[in-house]
Structure 1
Amino acid sequence: MNQAQTNARVGIFFVLGIALLWITFQALHTGSFNVKDGYEVTAPFKSVRELKVGNEVRMAGVTIGAVTAVRINNGRAEAVLSIKKEVPIHKDCVATIATSGLIGSNYISLDLGTPASGTVAPGDSLRTHEVPDFNKIMSDLGELGADIKVAVGKIGAAFSDNPDGSPGLITNVNNLVNENRANLNASIANLNEITEKIRAGDGTLAKLINDPAAYDQLLAAVTEIKNAATEAKGFIGETQTIIADVKSGRGAIGTLIYDEATAQNLKVAVKNISDITNKMNSDESSFGQLITNDNLVRDAKATLRKVDRAMDGFADSGPITAVGVVANGLF
């Protein structure tokens, strides 16, 4: 093979290589746009993590722009985003830094927002939301693993015997079981005996479990208790109402207790009754003399006897002599 053929083949392979590179570039950047044709907005973050210039900007999974700069502005990290002119971004849209897959590259993810909030103007700052960094998550998991390891070590130390020779938890439990084995066996035997009696229907508890009638009676008793409790609750409520009425001065008792005029009238009535009873007990009053004066009682009895004789004479006499008989009988 001469030198000319070799040079020709090298040239052909070079051209083919250039063509393959161009095809690959076009395949990877299908749908891309020139950043000069878009408008810029900013997205501030506490940390842009591994975000780089050229990373995509996606909205609902669709690529709508690219990161054109990453910088520090006013003490915070800030990403400058170039967005296609035909894609509006709503003001309530939130930007986050997402990752393509587990170990993929980072990109800016935007949610759709709501049209009612309006659209951002070129140069405006977007709302952002910080998401946990994968490296931070892995670091936290490592710290958690270390804490779990320490906790497991403490649990193991608590269960095992101590370095000073004192028994651990497992040894103490084992010793406790061995020392009380007879008591445990007796308790288990008693439990078996109790369960056998319950199964056989012996005893109150067994009847309650096995006898439907006993269960129904118990349920009825509980129902009656509940009804009695309900009635007691109602009675207490009525009593509270009555007490409230009395305190507020309503009703006869409330008026009697809290109404000053009624209380004064009651005092006057009691005083009058006291005066009347005092007069009745006095010898100077007619009623008192009627009770305490024996002569007056005898005179009254004599008068009643005379009236009785006059009436007898009146019955035996005619109409003409009736007046005379009454007069003689009385006087």
Structure 2
Amino acid sequence: MNNTSQTIRVGLFFLLGLALAWITFESLNGGRLFKQEGYSLVAGFANLKGLKTGDEIRMAGVKVGAVKLTRLAGNRVEAVLSIEPGVNIPTDAVASVEQSSLLGSNYLGVTFGTPGSPLLKDGDEIQTKATVDMSEVISQLGNLGSKLEQVIGEIGKSMGTGGENGSIFERVDKLVTENGPKLTETIANLQDITAKIKGGEGTFGKLVNDSKLHDELLAGVSEIKLAAADARTFMGDAKNIVADVKTGKGALGVLLYDEPTAASLKVSVNNLKEVSEKLNSGQGTLGKLISDDSLYLSVQSTMKKADRMIDGLGDQGPITAVGVAAQSLF
């Protein structure tokens, strides 16, 4: 009886051991007694950044394999990837070393790639990209912190007391204290000005608030632009005229640059001057007519005699008329 009971106990412990071994195997082997082999891919990096054998390979957070081994290959390092069967990875998929958390372990992340693209086969090399190394980031943050400490120290020195003028805060406080009333008055003036502009007072206020004045101003500016264009045209014409005059074209060009014509003009001016001087001094018939009143009186007397002669003719005959005319004249 005792032997039978002992045998049963040994058998139970044996079965319990087998169950524990099975559970352990299931947890380590993914629940498959005879695991089907997948296919291998090669991923090349400049730095694996802590990736090691056994780390997971994930697509969108889902495990699709594990790192089979890591090795040196010339000027780079390679990770041999063991991909589970049934997982298709396109040729344009990209692998990168990722971190599950700030202090967590690394894993190899793989993108989906483009649907419909050719698939990677056993032994092919997958595209890779470099990622940020957290250790490098932490190192750079440490350097940045030391630089910030230096900058803060320099700022503290510049703001510290000492020197003839004191610290920056003291100088700013002095500046504000001395100019406080002026700043207050300036701000009040600005408020008054903005209120007047808003209320449409003054030229600028009307210009801001009166759309009609704004339109008239725009029309005036347009007219000024047209006048400026006309002025430019006039200046261009004036330049052309000056150029023609310089080349001797036209009457003015001939007068300025043709020496014979200029000499003739000079002689004519001199002759006119002499004639005017003679007329002014009473020389010649025209000069006497202009300056001598006796000639005018004689002519006037002659005209009166002619009038009397015509009145005396009457009904007299031709001979008598001639005699009367001669008597009247002489």
TM-score exceeds 0.5: yes
- For normalisation by structure 1, the TM-score amounts to 0.61
Matched with 1:255 is 240
Q: CA separation of 1:292/1:130 partners in 2, compared to 1, >3 Å: closer, same or farther?
A: farther
* Root-mean-square deviation over aligned CA pairs: 5.6
Q: Find the aligned partners of 2:89 and 2:198 in 1 and give their Cα distance.
A: 78
The structure 2 residue matched to 1:268, chosen from 240, 254, 258, is: 254
1:97 deviates by 0.9
Contact 2:71 2:78 survives alignment (8 Å): yes
Within the alignment, does 1:50 sit opposite 2:39 as a pair? no
Within the alignment, does 1:220 sit opposite 2:205 as a pair? yes
1:176 deviates by 11
Paired amino acid for 2:98: A
Matched with 1:281 is 270
The structure 1 residue matched to 2:20, chosen from 17, 20, 24, is: 17
Matched with 2:133 is 133
3-state secondary structure, aligned to 2:201: helix
Within the alignment, does 1:71 sit opposite 2:71 as a pair? yes
1:277 deviates by 6.2
Within the alignment, does 1:296 sit opposite 2:296 as a pair? no
Q: CA separation of 1:241/1:168 partners in 2, compared to 1, >3 Å: closer, same or farther?
A: same
Q: Find the aligned partners of 2:201 and 2:265 in 1 and give their Cα distance.
A: 67
Contact 2:95 2:108 survives alignment (8 Å): yes
- Percent identity between matched residues is 21
1:15 deviates by 1.3
Worse-matched range after superposition: 142-151 or 7-16: 142-151
1:139 deviates by 2.9
Query: After superposition, what is the alpha-carbon deviation per residue over 1:148-187, rounded to whole angstroms, capped at 9, x for unaligned?
Result: 45555565666667xxxx689988967998xx8xx95x97
For residues 39-188 of structure 1, what are the structure 2 equivalents within 5 Å? Answer: 40=41, 42-83=42-83, 87-91=88-92, 93-114=93-114, 118-119=117-118, 122=121, 123-152=123-152
Q: CA separation of 1:27/1:94 partners in 2, compared to 1, >3 Å: closer, same or farther?
A: closer
Matched with 2:7 is 4
Contact 1:158 1:169 survives alignment (8 Å): no
Worse-matched range after superposition: 11-20 or 80-89: 80-89
1:47 deviates by 0.5
Structure 1 residue runs without a partner (length 5+): 199-203
3-state secondary structure, aligned to 1:43: strand
1:82 deviates by 4.3
Q: CA separation of 1:56/1:221 partners in 2, compared to 1, >3 Å: closer, same or farther?
A: same
Paired amino acid for 1:21: T
Q: Find the aligned partners of 2:271 and 2:192 in 1 and give their Cα distance.
A: 78
Q: CA separation of 1:108/1:192 partners in 2, compared to 1, >3 Å: closer, same or farther?
A: closer
Q: Find the aligned partners of 1:125 and 1:245 in 2 and give their Cα distance.
A: 79
Q: Find the aligned partners of 1:285 and 1:175 in 2 and give their Cα distance.
A: 88
Contact 1:310 1:329 survives alignment (8 Å): yes
Q: Find the aligned partners of 1:26 and 1:90 in 2 and give their Cα distance.
A: 28
Contact 1:208 1:214 survives alignment (8 Å): no
| Equivalent residue pairs, number | 303
Within the alignment, does 1:305 sit opposite 2:299 as a pair? yes
3-state secondary structure, aligned to 2:249: helix
1:14 deviates by 0.9
1:48 deviates by 0.5
Matched with 1:201 is none
1:98 deviates by 0.8
1:60 deviates by 3.3
- For normalisation by structure 2, the TM-score amounts to 0.61
Worse-matched range after superposition: 70-79 or 277-286: 277-286
Contact 1:99 1:106 survives alignment (8 Å): yes
3-state secondary structure, aligned to 1:72: strand
1:25 deviates by 3.0
1:96 deviates by 1.5
For residues 235-254 of structure 1, what are the structure 2 equivalents within 5 Å? Answer: 235=224, 239=228, 242-243=231-232, 246=235, 250-251=236-237, 253-254=238-239
3-state secondary structure, aligned to 1:282: helix
Worse-matched range after superposition: 206-215 or 94-103: 206-215
